[in-house]
Amino acid sequence: MDENKNMEFTNAVVVIKEAIVRARYQAAALVNRELLGLYYAVGKYVSDNSRRGYWGQGAVKRISVDLQKELPGLRGFSESSIRLMRLFHEEWQSVLSNHQLTTDEMQISEKNENIIDLNLLFRHTENYVADGFSADEFLRVGFTHHSEILAKEKSLEGRLFYISRCAAEFWSVNTRQ
């Protein structure tokens, strides 16, 4: 094989590899975004039902156990994870939803309280405006990072700072600043 063919194949490998890496990153970002929407919505559902007293003590544990029975091998829905989802919703909903409910949100609430609205987080983040806040950054940061930030940082400014840094610099959960 001549040298030109080798260079063409080497170049082809580089181009294809870059496309694969880019597609994997985009797929992971989309999965993360959808999972955050799911966790926020599940958190709202659990919060609405447990905080209003509709469910008794031990309900979150029972739901976790029953979900494991219904979906064997399901990960991410332990009792503690569901409680973190509730916290994720409760801590962010008061910040992100400081706007009038849209007609869609009112209709969803009125129609059926048993619907989990998977788009709620996206509507809330798109309407939220603050210096240093980017909905894109918020949605790129994984749930574990969000949980750690909520646990360790109490100020809104600090939380937004850490979300921004995690998104921009790909901080691991264990990064100390």
The H or E element spanning position 64 is helix 59-70
What is the average per-residue pLDDT within 72-84?
A: 95
Structure tokens at 15: 């181009």
Answer whether residue 81 shows pLDDT above 70: yes
**Pick from 100-109, 124-133, 145-154: least confident:** 100-109
Is residue 35 within 8 Å of residue 143, measured between CB atoms?
A: yes
Whole-model pTM: value is: 0.81
What DSSP character marks residue 175? -
Tell me the HSE value of 170 on the side-chain side, using a 13 A CA sphere: 2
pLDDT band with cut points at 50, 70 and 90 for residue 175: low
How confident is the model over 143-163, as pLDDT tens digits? 999 999 999 999 999 999 999
Angle at 155 between CA 33 and CA 162, to 5 degrees: 45
Q: How far is CA 21 from CA 9, 29, 30, 140, in A?
A: 18, 12, 14, 17
How confident is the model over 90-104, as pLDDT tens digits? 999 988 876 544 555
Phi, psi of 74 (to 5 degrees): -60, 130
